[in-house]
Chains A and B, each alone.
Chain A
């Protein structure tokens, strides 16, 4: 399984990105880590170039929404039907309601949304999701 990952927008928080990379690798995924400060267009290009199964976007600074609002538009430009779109981290500026964020990001086109959820729980959920949709 191939995963493209990185931190969206003008966010440079690198620590969790490194940990995500290591954790995905340990779980046997082939990881394409675009690192911090990556724009949505670059993620989509990388998914196409690597023929990835999963796009795992992370965000810490809370600004992800401003960068991901156009995801559904971009998904229409190419056949991404077999790609799982996942986002996790701090998904809002300030203290937010996780359920509200969940439905908001799903409306933008994400399959899996994790606001302030432990990394391993998020990755367990991803693996189960992939099994169910295999």
Chain B
């Protein structure tokens, strides 16, 4: 028995789950309907796929939610996992699931998949025969991903960086890396049985004033780490920055560099998709403004030529939306997209050059780390602050980089911390920043975070 398989046998020995039958799961994936694979849908579809977010504590409410989404002609269904499962606190999730079932009040902000188990969940997934994407935020996703794949969920979001630094206060970095390597390997192994399982990175990060250079570096590194373990279908992603120019520039550079680095590292057989997240920051309480924000971001998604868009709803500021509001958002995005076919490509050569330079400079420093494997190089780079995510809750994140918006709302690097970018690149960023006389940076940042309020 391989080391990986031995580890898997241990992982599924968990008091919160039923017996895990590896042979049966393998047989299920081998014979699963092609319609469950988003990788297949990407290959066969000419239009941008629309995927909402969503998950409720109980099985019945998720079933109802999916029914509502199907009524809006959804392309990809989401399964958002609750916060406790994300941090492996299955005991609390179990207690809150029981309270949700008894009192008809949602005590969890998502679906506790581990507690529900794969035998139950698979019934729902195969019933709708539509690709499902696992949305979570889990540093140790080994058990969760085993159960998701066994349920028929063939897209796994996250990664060792994007589901650690924005999603945890003190989960050890080395462990998260090992645990995500496990996820990549299991995903790769199952990808040989049928259509490939798609892995998707989480570009929004902490969704607050993220400089595109850092987002792109992390997208490319997670892509390379995943492909290195044998994954054949990968989605890079980013979220609306608040500047249309910056979104278009980010997308052009990300697409170009993703292909370049994938090929350079010997993965020319891998498919790379681009995913665009509608605004992930604080939403306005005025629902008409939310509608406008959502429509605008749909237009931007069409302009950047995303392969998939992940939607928000007009209820975002108020909490998790009802199934009706969520399905309406999907229908509206599909309606808007219908008007946006065959748009001309636009670009900004100077901005693209500066962003490309910064990304290449940071990546070069990562690749030049003296460690022997890419996983270790990336690990060291986080510790050295070469990778530094503004507004990360994690104690290991350097937290030295500070960003502000320029007069055109582009997010610029104001303090570079230990980012290994050249003086020339940094000077370009700084040249765009104009602070008013006597304006304090902290007030500017607060204002810039709340740009959509």
Give A contacts to B, CB under 8 Å: 9-12, 14-15, 17-19, 22, 35-37, 61-63, 65-66, 90, 92-96, 116
- Nearest to A90 among chain B residues (CB) is B319
List the 6 closest A-B pairs by CB distance, nearest first.
Answer: A14-B393, A93-B106, A10-B83, A36-B393, A37-B169, A61-B109
Looking at the complex, which one of B92, B285, B449 makes contact with A15 (CB distance below 8 Å)? B449
Q: How far is the CB of A25 from chain B (nearest CB, A)?
A: 10
Is B108 an interface residue when CB atoms closer than 8 A count as contact?
A: yes
Give B contacts to A, CB under 8 Å: 82-84, 86-87, 89, 92, 95-96, 99, 105-109, 137, 166-169, 206, 208, 282, 285, 315, 317-322, 391-393, 442, 446, 449
- Cβ contact within 8 Å between A37 and B92: no
- Cβ contact within 8 Å between A37 and B87: yes
Looking at the complex, which one of B208, B318, B449 makes contact with A116 (CB distance below 8 Å)? B318
Looking at the complex, which one of A37, A66, A94 makes contact with B168 (CB distance below 8 Å)? A37
B interface majority secondary structure: loop
- Cβ contact within 8 Å between A63 and B319: no
Cα separation A93 to B103 with both chains bound (whole Å): 14
Given contacts A66-B96, A92-B319, contact A14 B168 (CB under 8 A): no
Cα separation A133 to B208 with both chains bound (whole Å): 38
Contacts of A12 in B (CB 8 A): 83, 137, 166-169, 393
Cα separation A37 to B171 with both chains bound (whole Å): 11
- Cβ contact within 8 Å between A10 and B319: no
Beyond the given pairs A10-B92, A18-B391, A37-B169, 7 more chain A to chain B contacts, judged by CB atoms under 8 angstroms and listed by A's residue number, are A62-B106, A63-B82, A66-B96, A66-B107, A90-B319, A93-B109, A93-B320
Given contacts A10-B92, A11-B83, A61-B83, contact A93 B442 (CB under 8 A): no
- Nearest to B207 among chain A residues (CB) is A15
- Cβ contact within 8 Å between A65 and B84: no
- Cβ contact within 8 Å between A62 and B319: yes
Q: Jot down 14 A-B pairs with beta carbons below 8 A, ordered by A.
A: A9-B83, A9-B84, A10-B86, A12-B166, A12-B393, A17-B393, A22-B446, A37-B168, A37-B169, A62-B319, A93-B105, A94-B106, A94-B321, A95-B315
- Cβ contact within 8 Å between A95 and B322: yes
Cα separation A12 to B168 with both chains bound (whole Å): 6
Cα separation A13 to B384 with both chains bound (whole Å): 24
- Cβ contact within 8 Å between A14 and B392: yes
Looking at the complex, which one of B95, B107, B166, B442 makes contact with A65 (CB distance below 8 Å)? B107
Given contacts A36-B169, A93-B109, contact A15 B446 (CB under 8 A): no
- Cβ contact within 8 Å between A66 and B99: yes
- Cβ contact within 8 Å between A96 and B319: yes
Given contacts A37-B393, A94-B320, contact A63 B169 (CB under 8 A): no
Cα separation A96 to B106 with both chains bound (whole Å): 11
Contacts of A63 in B (CB 8 A): 82-84, 96, 107-109
Contacts of B166 in A (CB 8 A): 12
Contacts of B169 in A (CB 8 A): 12, 35-37
Cα separation A22 to B442 with both chains bound (whole Å): 9
Interface centre among A10, A14, A37 (most CB of B within 10 A): A10
Contacts of B321 in A (CB 8 A): 94-95
Cα separation A128 to B84 with both chains bound (whole Å): 36
Contacts of B315 in A (CB 8 A): 95
- Nearest to B171 among chain A residues (CB) is A37
Q: How far is the CB of A128 from chain B (nearest CB, A)?
A: 23
Contacts of A90 in B (CB 8 A): 318-319
Cα separation A14 to B391 with both chains bound (whole Å): 7
Contacts of B87 in A (CB 8 A): 10, 37
Contacts of A94 in B (CB 8 A): 106, 319-322
- Nearest to B87 among chain A residues (CB) is A10
Cα separation A11 to B166 with both chains bound (whole Å): 11
- Nearest to A93 among chain B residues (CB) is B106
Q: How far is the CB of A35 from chain B (nearest CB, A)?
A: 6
Cα separation A10 to B82 with both chains bound (whole Å): 9
Q: How far is the CB of B163 from chain A (nearest CB, A)?
A: 11
- Cβ contact within 8 Å between B106 and A10: no
Q: How far is the CB of B279 from chain A (nearest CB, A)?
A: 14
Cα separation A19 to B282 with both chains bound (whole Å): 13
Q: How far is the CB of B65 from chain A (nearest CB, A)?
A: 12
Contacts of B109 in A (CB 8 A): 61-63, 93
Interface centre among B86, B137, B169 (most CB of A within 10 A): B169
Cα separation A22 to B440 with both chains bound (whole Å): 13
Contacts of B86 in A (CB 8 A): 10
Contacts of A17 in B (CB 8 A): 393
- Nearest to B446 among chain A residues (CB) is A19
- Cβ contact within 8 Å between A66 and B92: yes
Cα separation A22 to B89 with both chains bound (whole Å): 31
- Cβ contact within 8 Å between B391 and A15: yes
Q: How far is the CB of B415 from chain A (nearest CB, A)?
A: 16
- Cβ contact within 8 Å between A35 and B107: no
Contacts of A61 in B (CB 8 A): 83, 109
Contacts of A9 in B (CB 8 A): 83-84
Q: How far is the CB of A117 from chain B (nearest CB, A)?
A: 11
Contacts of B99 in A (CB 8 A): 66
Contacts of B317 in A (CB 8 A): 116
Cα separation A14 to B89 with both chains bound (whole Å): 20
Contacts of B449 in A (CB 8 A): 15, 19
Cα separation A81 to B223 with both chains bound (whole Å): 54
Contacts of A66 in B (CB 8 A): 92, 95-96, 99, 107-108
